Structure formats: structure tokens, C-alpha cells
């Protein structure tokens, strides 16, 4: 679309760009007078522009960014070392976009390609490729410059919004960083606590394992000792069983002997002169106060020592009175309840007659009394019921015949 004049982005008329046949692309200094500012400002970052200026001028440019931009823009309006350096940099930087645009053979196709590219993120490359394209006329150049002008405004607004968002993000980041630091401190503290607890548990585990090993070692040693003992003493297990059986048989024997003694006492009472079988007491365990054979008063026992083994502690005075009533000397031993069992042997040696109440003494005392009386031939009467009547009958049996 050729035209005599076009309106620039600032409203000033711009000279028309004559269409040139052929496929040669335009150089930077061949662009319209209003194209250099957006091309340099959009297509080249300021650090790159400063680097090119330092290279061309052979020193460090001290100008501000705005002054540098204006100076390079002025130098690029005509062919100069600065313009050639910028041209070379733009060609190198946007080589891919230029190659893509070379396939476009008409102004309309180029315009459509530009409209698509301006919506993307490669606007700088599309700007350079479009403005330098052989089919870019004055109208398309002006349209491209207008679009870039609006995009710069939009970019500025977007940049300000981005700055605001960046500040908000930085503030949020600061808050989150503080929270993260507190969480890290808490996690570090918990990690230390867990590590300490783990160390304690590991120490306890080591102690438990040591105790288990010690116990297993002791069990193994005891098993080995038992095996050795069984090998050394054949029949050890059977001997232990026989020992338990012997204990049970001994207890049964004691029970039978006591029953035998009661039967012998009953038979002796029945054989007394002047007594008939029906005169014997019906129950050997009758309580105190039942009818008992009379015992003659006076010195019937002639000061003989009568030892009473066992009996109720509260009945000892009654026992003493009965023994002394028939002229005897009363001795007493409780059968191992409170008195020491070792004193029983000395008391038995001092006694002339023995009355053993089997229901109130220990097994040891019973066997000591029986063994002593059997060895010494000392008279002994065994009674089962610790009562005064039983003691009278025993004294009657022990009373010497005149």
C-alpha cells in the first residue's frame, strides 16, 4: 500500500519510503527516521548498547543510559561505525526470526506474520525482521511502529504492576522466610530431642541385650551343670521322685501311727480292772469336763517328773494342778510352737514320765519324743485331744501300782 506520506507515532508527517524491487533487506541506517528509537530501545538491552559503544569508541562511556540511547540513536540514522556495529549485533541476535520472515513474499503476508508475532514473547526479533524485510512498505512500517509504541505503554503499565506484585511477593517472602526460620528451629530442636531419646533407647537396648545374654549364659551353664550332675549321679531324677514319694509315705506313716496309738490307748482303758468295753469313752476327742477315770489324791507319783509335751497354752495351769495333785513334778514343752525344739531333748532327759499330746506338736517334736522314750524305755502316753480329761486318763495309766 504505497502512500505519499505517513503519520508517525508523534503525529508528524514522515517521508514515504520508496518501494525497491528485489530481495535485499534494508540496513539499520536505511530505516525511517522514527524507527531507530524503538529498534534500539526494544531490540537491544542497555548493557549491550553500552558494550558496543565502548568497543566502537575504544574506551569507557561515562554518559547516562538516556544520553547513551540518544547518542547511539543519532549515530544509527546514517552509516557509521556505530551503526554498523549495531547492525551486526541485531543480525546475530535475531538470525532465527530473520530466516522465518524470508519465506514471506508479500506485504500482506508480512503484515499477517507481524500480527501473530506481536502477541507472543519474541516481539523484538519480529520487529527487526519485519522492518528490514524487502516487502515492508511505509504503511506497514508505520503500523509496526504504532503497535510497538502501544506495547511499550502496556509494558510500562505491566512493569509497574509487576513491581507492585514483586513488592507484595517480597513481603510475603519475608513473612514466609521468618515462619520457615521458626519451623526450622522447631524441627532442629525436635531432631535433637529425638536423637537424645534414640540414644537413651539404644543404651537401654544394649543393657537389655546384655541382661538377656547374661541370662542365657546362666541358663546354659545351669543346663550344663545339670547334665554333668545327671551323668555323674545316675538315676538322679528317679531319686528326686523317690524322695518326694518317701516324704508322702512318711506323713502317711505318722498318721497311721497316731491312729494306732489311739487304738492302743482305747484298748488299754478297756482292759483296766473293773471296766467293761462299754464303759470306755465313746469319743477320744471329748472336750474338757467329760467323765474321766478318777485319780487318787496324794503322793501317788512320789515326786516323779511328769513332762507334758504340747497342749493349749491357756490350759498349762490346769495341767500343772492335775500333775501336782497326784504328787508329781510338772514339766512342760509346747512342742516347738514357741519353745525351741532343741530344748526338748534336755527336758526329755529330765523327765520320768512323758505325756505327748500329738495333736498340738510339730512332726519333729513327735519323732523326738517317740525316739527318746523308745531308746530309754521311759514310760510315755500319747494322747490326741489336748483336754484335762485326756490328761487325767494319761495320768491314770502312768500311775504306779502299789
> What's the confidence (pLDDT) of residue 286?
37
- Answer for the pair 363, 335: CB distance below 8 angstroms, yes or no: no
Long-range CB contacts (within 8 A, 24+) of 80-84: 80/29, 81/56, 82/52, 82/53, 82/56, 83/27, 83/28, 83/29
Residue 194 pLDDT: 93
Confidence of residue 399 (pLDDT cuts 50, 70, 90): low
Candidate ranges 190-194, 298-302, 395-399; pick with highest mean pLDDT: 190-194
Residue 164 has pLDDT above 70, yes or no: yes
What pLDDT score was predicted for residue 228? 83
Helix (H, G, I), strand (E, B) or coil at 76: coil
Question: CB–CB of 3/40 below 8 Å?
Answer: no
Q: How far is CA 94 from CA 19, 67, 115, in A?
A: 24, 25, 18
Residue 25 has pLDDT above 50, yes or no: yes
Give the residue from 333, 374, 373, 338 showing the smallest Cα distance to 353: 373
Which residue would you say has higher pLDDT here, 329 or 21? 329
> SS3 for 290?
coil
Distance (Å, whole) CA 139 – CA 265: 154
What is the model's pTM? 0.38
Instruction: Round to the nearest angstrom and report the end-to-end CA distance of the chain.
Output: 176
pLDDT of residue 309: 87
**pLDDT exceeds cutoff 50 at 369:** yes
**Beta strands per DSSP E along 96-198:** none
Cα separation of 96 and 122, whole Å?
Answer: 11
Cβ-proximal residues to 83 (8 Å cutoff; 6+ apart), any chain: 27, 28, 29, 75, 76, 77
What value does the mean pLDDT of the chain take? 79
List the grid coordinates of 50: 553500552
Summarised one tens digit per residue, pLDDT across range 205-230 is: 999 999 999 999 999 888 888 888 77
* Cα–Cα distance measured from residue 18 to residue 73, given in angstroms and rounded to the nearest whole number: 22
Evaluate whether 322 touches 292 at the Cβ level (below 8 Å): no
Q: Tell me, what's the pLDDT at 44? A: 87
pLDDT in tens, 371-388: 889 888 888 888 877 677
- pLDDT over 70 at 292, yes or no: no
Q: What is the pLDDT of residues 144-159, one digit of tens each?
A: 888 888 887 777 676 6
Of 307, 306, 313, 354, the closest CA to residue 337 belongs to 313
Pick the residue with more confidence: 127 or 336?
A: 127
Given the candidates 3.40.50.2000, 3.40.640.10, 3.40.50.10700, 1.10.486.10, the CATH classification of the domain at 277-398 is 3.40.50.10700
Statement: residue 109 has pLDDT above 70: yes
Predicted local distance difference test score (pLDDT) of residue 273: 56
Instruction: Locate 313 and state its grid cell.
Output: 497354752
* Predicted local distance difference test score (pLDDT) of residue 265: 62
**Least confident among 135-144, 201-210, 303-312:** 303-312
The three-class DSSP label of residue 140 is helix
- How far apart CA 82 and CA 73 sit, in angstroms, is 9
- Alpha carbons 76 and 32: distance in angstroms, whole number: 11
Cα(358)–Cα(310) distance, rounded to whole angstroms? 7
Burial of 334 (0-12, 13-18, 19+ CB in 10 A): buried
3-state secondary structure of 338: coil
pLDDT at res. 287: 35
- Residue pair 136/165 in contact by the 8 Å Cβ criterion: no
- What pLDDT score does 36 carry? 87
Contact 24, 134 (CB under 8 A): yes
Residue 9 pLDDT exceeds 50: no
> What pLDDT does residue 158 have?
66
Quote the CA–CA distance of 33 and 316 in Å, as a whole number: 147
Q: What is the mean pLDDT of residues 71-90?
A: 89
Domain boundaries, the chain: 5-166, 277-398
Grid coordinates representing 11 are: 503525529
Mean of pLDDT values over 293-310: 67
Amino acid at each position: 500500500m504505497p502512500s505519499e506520506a505517513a503519520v508517525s507515532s508523534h503525529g508528524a508527517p514522515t517521508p514515504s519510503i520508496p518501494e525497491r524491487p528485489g530481495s535485499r533487506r534494508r540496513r539499520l541506517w536505511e530505516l525511517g527516521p522514527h524507527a531507530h528509537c524503538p529498534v534500539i530501545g526494544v531490540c537491544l538491552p542497555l548493557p549491550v548498547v553500552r558494550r558496543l559503544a565502548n568497543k566502537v569508541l575504544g574506551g569507557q562511556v561515562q554518559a547516562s543510559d538516556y544520553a547513551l540511547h540518544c547518542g547511539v540513536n543519532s549515530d544509527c540514522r546514517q552509516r557509521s561505525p556505530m551503526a554498523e556495529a549495531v547492525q551486526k549485533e541485531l543480525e546475530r541476535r535475531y538470525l532465527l526470526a530473520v530466516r522465518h520472515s524470508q519465506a514471506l513474499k508479500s506485504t500482506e503476508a508480512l503484515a499477517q506474520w507481524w500480527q501473530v508475532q506481536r502477541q507472543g514473547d519474541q516481539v523484538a526479533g519480529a520487529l527487526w525482521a519485519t522492518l528490514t524485510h524487502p516487502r515492508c512498505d511505509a504503511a506497514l512500517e508505520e503500523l509496526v511502529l504504532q503497535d510497538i509504541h502501544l506495547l511499550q505503554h502496556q509494558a510500562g503499565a505491566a512493569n509497574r504492576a509487576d513491581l507492585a506484585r514483586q513488592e507484595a511477593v517480597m513481603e510475603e517472602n519475608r513473612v514466609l522466610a521468618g515462619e520457615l526460620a521458626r519451623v526450622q528451629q522447631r524441627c532442629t530442636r525436635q531432631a535433637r530431642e529425638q536423637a537424645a531419646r534414640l540414644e537413651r533407647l539404644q543404651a537401654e537396648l544394649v543393657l537389655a541385650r546384655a541382661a538377656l545374654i547374661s541370662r542365657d549364659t546362666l541358663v546354659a551353664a545351669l543346663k550344663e551343670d545339670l547334665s554333668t550332675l545327671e551323668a555323674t549321679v545316675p538315676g538322679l531324677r528317679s531319686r528326686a521322685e523317690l524322695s518326694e514319694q518317701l516324704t508322702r509315705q512318711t506323713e502317711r506313716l505318722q498318721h497311721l501311727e497316731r491312729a494306732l496309738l489311739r487304738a492302743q490307748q482305747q484298748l488299754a482303758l478297756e482292759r483296766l480292772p473293773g471296766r467293761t468295753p462299754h464303759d470306755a469313752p465313746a469319743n477320744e476327742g471329748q472336750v474338757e469336763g467329760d467323765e474321766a477315770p478318777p485319780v487318787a489324791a496324794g503322793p501317788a507319783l512320789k515326786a516323779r517328773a511328769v513332762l507334758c509335751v504340747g497342749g493349749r497354752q491357756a490350759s498349762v495351769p490346769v495341767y500343772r494342778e492335775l500333775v501336782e495333785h497326784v504328787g508329781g513334778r510338772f514339766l512342760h514343752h509346747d512342742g516347738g510352737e514357741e519353745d525351741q525344739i532343741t530344748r526338748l531333748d534336755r527336758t526329755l532327759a529330765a523327765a520320768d514320765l512323758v505325756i505327748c499330746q500329738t495333736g498340738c506338736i510339730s512332726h519333729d517334736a513327735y519323732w523326738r519324743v517317740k525316739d527318746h522314750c523308745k531308746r530309754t524305755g521311759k514310760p510315755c502316753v500319747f494322747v490326741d485331744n489336748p483336754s484335762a480329761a485326756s490328761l487325767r486318763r494319761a495320768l491314770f495309766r502312768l500311775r504306779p501300782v502299789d
